[in-house]
Chains A and B, each alone.
Chain A
Amino acid sequence: MKVNRSDMFVTAIALLITLSAAFMVMLVMIFIMSETPGETLFYFFAGPLTNKYYLGNMFNSAIPLILTGLGIAFAFRSSMFNLGGEGQVYAGGFAATAVCLAMPAAGAFFGITVSLLAAVVTGAVIAGLSGFFKMKWRTDELISSFLISNALIYIVDNFITGPFDDPGNNLLTTSKVAEQFWFNKIFPPSNLDISIVFVVIIAILAFFYLFKTHQGYEMRMCGVNPEFARYGGINVGKYIMLPMLWSGALHGLAGAVYVLGTSHACFKGFSGGMGWNGIAVALIARNNPIAVIPAALFFAYIEAGAESAMINADITIEIASIVQSVVFFLITAQAIYNFLKYRRKAV
């Protein structure tokens, strides 16, 4: 595949403009909201990098984002929308927990494999449902995936706070899964665990699948121009289902990896933001699986910065949502690209 260098340059500059705008908005907000803006800014930008604990946790929170970002990239590459990420992550994490709790004495390898599988299947079925409705009856998958996922969030809530609630404490969480299922920590004292290696491998595999295999080619073709793909003899219906299945599977996996690697239990609302941020990550990465990795790190950095500023200074963590919304607003703005291209031709 030939890559146009000037296009890449324009994309990079446009991305830079978007991200700078987001940071500008954040600066303005911190100066308005904070009594001690200098201190707040320091904690926001430098906080995540000041010690091993914060740094490791920042990388750790990028793990689920890489998976959800990949999940969205699969869907977007095929022109499918999966707005149900939050619920798919949540249900996936819950399925993994339930499996582990059901067999506390199982061997580590067997237990982890089965619980990851349960999460992947759960996520794939949920997203696949929207794909199926779309394929069969042209039901808008954007709305249906959101509605199904939101209903599921409440139903999983009910399981966590009801039949699966840990009676040993007052927190809204299930009991912890048996210790042999926990992923190994690789950067103590932080939470960073070994799954980051596997997640990076998954991103590379996803890249090869999308760009170097026949199926990946057909899937992208259906995304670029379904009519042309149909004319070329591609089974378009299959590529409505398949990307949704992949997307859901990766979201479910994200939930399981978070539970087994970080929280070791399924607590109420743990997936909050992971699905939406996955969309932003995929957009920043322009749906390229490899670029998803730095994009997820960038988002993890914003979240970690907001958290550090919340703990050490006087702002609230939702300031990160506003910064993220600015990224969302501008990331697809075609006018920025057109303007830059025009400028380059003029020069």
Chain B
Amino acid sequence: MSSEGFSIPIIHNSISIMTPFLLAAIGGLMTELSGMLNIALEGLILIGAFFSVIFAAATGSLLLGILLGILMTILVSWVFGAITIYLKANVFITGLATNLLASGLTAVLSFHIFGTKGVLMFEELPPLPSLNVPPLHKIPVLGDIFFGHNVFVYMSWIIVVIAWFAIYRTPFGFRLRGTGSNPKAMIAIGLNPQNYQMLGILISGFTCGLAGAVLTLNLGAYVPHISSGRGWIALVVIYLGGKTPFGILGAAFVFGLAESFSNYAQGFIDIPADFILAFPYIITAAAMVIMSIVQNRNED
């Protein structure tokens, strides 16, 4: 790959880097369309990351690990949703609660089960299968960019397409968007908007569980706070993508590219490691401000 210069590996890497926040953003979009800002994405990713890798190690099966990890994440998102919707709590505060719970619970369980709050290594875990289609690999440029990723990458693209279809082509999608734009109309036609809000949150639990699994199973290890801001990036990606699945795909790619480039730049420019860590937050904040300036211009 390196024979193609530096740009192709950067693009190739950006595609795998963007997968976790693409997944989280698609789930967050469902919550957003039902009329709620989901700031729990960060914590939900962390829950998915922790439980998928420890279940995978315990059962010796990647698939079981992923499924049980997702199940745990959906469970936590249910708690978040139930308290927000049925107990009528403020969604921002319960979102913060979910993030706090995730960081507390993962640390406490890690300490209780493994006796450490540090990195958990699982060397016996099999690597994630990747998609290699030798003849397609030979396509110049595109072959190197689009093939050879792990299966989650392709799964995330399928999920984008499914999300698009569900939102714009099914009664579920109409009702979900109806809940966000006009809940009273939903009640008038005899539907309960609370059910759709709950589904919006549970779907975000599903995709964040998957996003977390990508992070840890790819590494074969759990690192404390491995979500490291991806849930927040996902939130901004939802807005930058204009709240549409394909827009989100594009926005997530831009963020993936930025992060991939900063990883690459680290190799030959002497930037302190802390600045590299700060970079995703700076670029996300900048993107957010620029977007609101543009939107404001258009409205005037």
Contacts and interface: CB of A to CB of B under 8 A. Distances in A.
Query: Are the chains A and B members of one assembly?
Result: yes
Contacts of A319: 104, 108
Contacts of B284: 147
B100 interface: yes
A237 to B, nearest CB: 13
Interface stretch (A61-69, A138-146, A190-198, A200-208): A138-146
A154 B275 contact: yes
B274 A321 contact: no
Nearest to A151: B281
A138 B281 contact: no
Contacts of A148: 281, 285
Contact of B93 (A33, A147, A162, A332): A332
A137 B296 contact: yes
Contact of B92 (A81, A152, A157): A81
Nearest to B86: A335
A340 interface: no
Interface stretch (B63-71, B167-175, B228-236): B228-236
Given A329-B97, A330-B89, A158 B107 contact: no
Main secondary structure of the interface of B (DSSP, over half): helix
Contacts of A283: 93
B267 interface: no
A319 B104 CA distance: 6
Interface in A104-154: 133, 136-140, 142-144, 146-148, 150-154
Contact of B87 (A161, A316, A330): A330
Nearest to B278: A154
A316 B111 CA distance: 7
Interface stretch (B140-148, B191-199, B250-258, B287-295): B287-295
Contacts of A157: 274
Nearest to A317: B107
A333 interface: yes
Chain B interface category by residue count: 35 or more
B101 interface: yes
B107 A144 contact: no
Contact of B104 (A140, A153, A325, A330): A325
B292 A133 contact: yes
A133 B87 contact: no
B105 interface: yes
B187 interface: no
A136 B293 CA distance: 8
A322 interface: yes
Contacts of B104: 318-322, 324-325
Contacts, number: 138
B88 A321 contact: no
B93 A155 contact: no
B134 interface: no
A135 to B, nearest CB: 11
Contacts of A338: 88
B97 A333 contact: no
Contact of B96 (A33, A133, A279): A279
Contacts of B87: 330, 333-336
B108 A158 contact: no
Q: Determine which residue in B104, B105, B232 has the highest number of CB atoms from chain A within 10 A of its CB, and name it.
A: B104
Given A33-B112, A143-B235, A324 B100 contact: yes
A328 B100 contact: yes
A29 B288 contact: no
A37 B88 CA distance: 34
B266 to A, nearest CB: 14
Contacts of A329: 79, 83, 89, 93-94, 97, 101
A332 B89 CA distance: 5
B292 A147 contact: no
A138 B232 contact: no
Given A333-B88, A335-B88, A139 B97 contact: no
Nearest 4 pairs of A and B residues by beta carbon: A321-B104, A328-B97, A154-B278, A158-B274
18 contacts: A81-B92, A138-B295, A139-B288, A142-B39, A150-B229, A151-B281, A151-B285, A157-B274, A279-B96, A318-B107, A322-B108, A325-B97, A325-B100, A328-B96, A329-B94, A329-B97, A331-B89, A335-B87
Given A147-B232, A148-B281, A325-B100, 7 more contacts: A146-B232, A151-B285, A325-B104, A329-B89, A329-B97, A332-B94, A335-B89
